[in-house]
Structures are given as C-alpha cells and as structure tokens.
Homo-oligomer: A and B are copies of this chain.
Amino acid sequence: MPKSDPNPLSEFDLIARFFSPPAAQGFVGVGDDCGIMPVRPGFQLAVSTDTLIEGRHFFSDADPADIGHKALAVNLSDLAAAGAQPRACLLSLSLPHADESWLQAFSQGFLSLANESGCQLIGGDTTRSHDKIILGVTVLGEVPVSQALLRGRAQPDDDIWVTGQLGAPHTALQLRQGVWAADEALLAQTLPRLLRPQPPVHWAPELLGHAHAAIDISDGLIQDLQHILHDSQFGARVEAAAIPQHPALTHLSAEQQLEAVLSGGDEFELCFTAPVAQRAHILDSAAKAGVAVQRIGTITLEPTLQILDFEGKALNAEPTGFDHFNRS
C-alpha cells in the first residue's frame, strides 16, 4: 500500500549510504535476505528486541545521534542482563520521510556504539511510517551454554546489587515534561543520562558463574526487582539509603529522590543478585572494569518486598514502575 514520495533518496541508496558497515569474518551483513552470524561451539544465542517510538521513547527534537545511540543501548542492556556478549544487531527503520542529515547523524550514533560494543550490524529493513519515527532494534549475543543469567535464579540471602548511579533519567523526564518545577541546571546535569544510557555491556559477562539472577532497570528498580522476586518466588528487603544516587539529585526533596531511584525508568543499569561469598570478587572485577556497583539489599525466603526509606522506616506503598498499557 505505497504512496509516491517526491524524495529522491531511495530505500536502497539509503541502506547503502548510511547502514552498510563492512561485514566481519564469518558474518553476512546488510543487503541480503538474512544476516548470517556464527555461534561458537559451547555457546548459545541470546537475543532481544525493543521498539522505540518517537514521542514515547525519545523526544521528536532530540539529536538524531543520541536517538541512534539510545536505540541500540536499550537493547544492549538486555544482553548485559543475560550476561551475554554482543555480537550482531538488526535495525528496522520506519520513517515518515527519508531526511539525509537526520539519517547521517542517526547512523553515526548507532554505529559508533555498535562498533564499541563489538556488535556487527547484519540486517534490518526500512519502511515508510505515517507520521512518527519508529525504530526496531534486535541484538544478538553469545553466552556459554546454560550459563545465561535469568530472572528466576535468585536464592535466599543473596545480596541485591545495582550498577551505576540511579535517578537521573527520571529527574530529567519529570523536568522536561513540566511535572517537576523547572530547574535548568538540574536538567542539564541529568539529561545526558536519559539521552545516552551506558549499560555495563563489557563487564556483564564477568557475572557469569558469580551472580544468580539479573535484570536491567528499564521500568524502575522496584518494578524490575519484582520480576526477579516473582520468577524466583522469594522476597527482598531493600534499603533506599544504600541505593547509589546520581549526585545532582541532592537538589531534590527526599520524596522526589525516593521516587527517582525506586520507580524511575530508563536507567539501563543492572540489578542482580549474588551469594554473599561473591562480594569480594564482584567488587574487584567491577573496579577493574570501571563499573560502579553497590549492594542495596538482600533476597529473603519470605516472599514479600520490604522497602526501607532514607530514615530506615518501612514504606507502606510499593512504588510502581512503568507498564506500557496500565499505569497507576
């Protein structure tokens, strides 16, 4: 059901010009019906996909290089949560029209991160959308057979860890959307974390054999932790005071800080659980990789979630995260 378009940049030109990096040994890249990727003996394929829609997952006026970076980063974050090493990716680009300068910047943001992450672009498609930009990214990684970190493998007395410093993406979003009172300086400090998430992709495979369960924080720490608890059938006690917070958040009220770190989405950091005996190894390995890690609580046999606020008092209401079809 195509309609004619005066734009002279064809689908095939577009792919050739902006999205055809040279294929690495053993790969078949962009431009055939399928991408081809080798999987080493002893490894399994780990795969994940995420769609980003203009106005929902990124601002219409965002720098296209940032959009390209984020579209891939949110997917690499899922590979990190499985402890998988990125190997290849596919990009589906649905655009209302083909804008050369937008595409050039977008592909630069996307391909720079792909390159840094060892993630070869091996396929995708282009489609004309009605009026919004829609980006579909699929990432493919390798993980040693039966060693992938899953949500359902937490054990009682495991430490609960998070990477990075939380709260900045939510703060930037609340400020940009006018939900929180305008604060240009705070916005400038927190916005880069919303626009350019940096999941700990290189370090995550180091967790294999050391951590039990993992998830990436995309919908909010508490909501994502609840997936681990639900799938593992255990509970947890979390201390808000132990959660590493982005330094700019000290400008906010305690209530706002709590909201940002407990239920703020778009973090693309990891939440994982590991036995107490692994503490030294985790701290050491993270330090070597330059990744910030912090223990924030414990998995409990009792299948409930207890959250202690900054003063150590139990919170009554469980903060909810983001559900795409039903938000309370």
> With A39-B45, A138-B138, A177-B1 in contact, is A127–B34 under 8 Å at CB?
no
A225 at interface by CB-CB < 8 Å: no
A106-149 vs B, CB cutoff 8 Å, 1 = contact: the mask equals 00000000000000001111111110101010101101010010
A272 to chain B, nearest CB (A): 11
Q: Are A1 and B173 in contact (CB-based, < 8 A)?
A: yes
Bound Cα distance from A97 to B326, whole angstroms? 10
A29 to chain B, nearest CB (A): 11
Bound Cα distance from A36 to B140, whole angstroms? 10
A327 at interface by CB-CB < 8 Å: yes
17 additional A-B pairs beyond A33-B48, A34-B82, beta carbons within 8 Å, are A4-B327, A7-B326, A9-B325, A31-B151, A33-B78, A33-B151, A34-B46, A34-B81, A34-B84, A34-B141, A39-B39, A47-B138, A49-B124, A50-B92, A51-B125, A126-B324, A136-B136
Q: Please give me the 9 A-B residue pairs with the lowest Cβ-Cβ distance, nearest first.
A: A33-B81, A136-B136, A39-B39, A34-B82, A34-B46, A10-B326, A33-B78, A51-B92, A138-B138
A18 to chain B, nearest CB (A): 13
A299 at interface by CB-CB < 8 Å: no
A145 to chain B, nearest CB (A): 7
Q: Are A123 and B47 in contact (CB-based, < 8 A)?
A: yes
A267-286 vs B, CB cutoff 8 Å, 1 = contact: the mask equals 00000000000000000000
Residue of B32, B81, B136 near A51 (CB, 8 A) is B136
Q: Are A78 and B34 in contact (CB-based, < 8 A)?
A: yes
Bound Cα distance from A140 to B34, whole angstroms? 9
List CB contacts (< 8 Å) of A41-89 with chain B.
Answer: 41, 44-51, 53, 55-57, 59, 78-79, 81-82, 84, 88
Bound Cα distance from A38 to B47, whole angstroms? 11
Q: Are A56 and B327 in contact (CB-based, < 8 A)?
A: no
A319 to chain B, nearest CB (A): 15
Q: Are B38 and A145 in contact (CB-based, < 8 A)?
A: yes
* Chain B residues, CB < 8 A from A138: 47, 49, 90, 138
A135-179 vs B, CB cutoff 8 Å, 1 = contact: the mask equals 010101101010010111000000000000000000001000100
Q: Are A51 and B94 in contact (CB-based, < 8 A)?
A: yes
A26 to chain B, nearest CB (A): 8
Residue picked from A2, A34, A35, A41, most chain B C-beta under 10 Å: A34
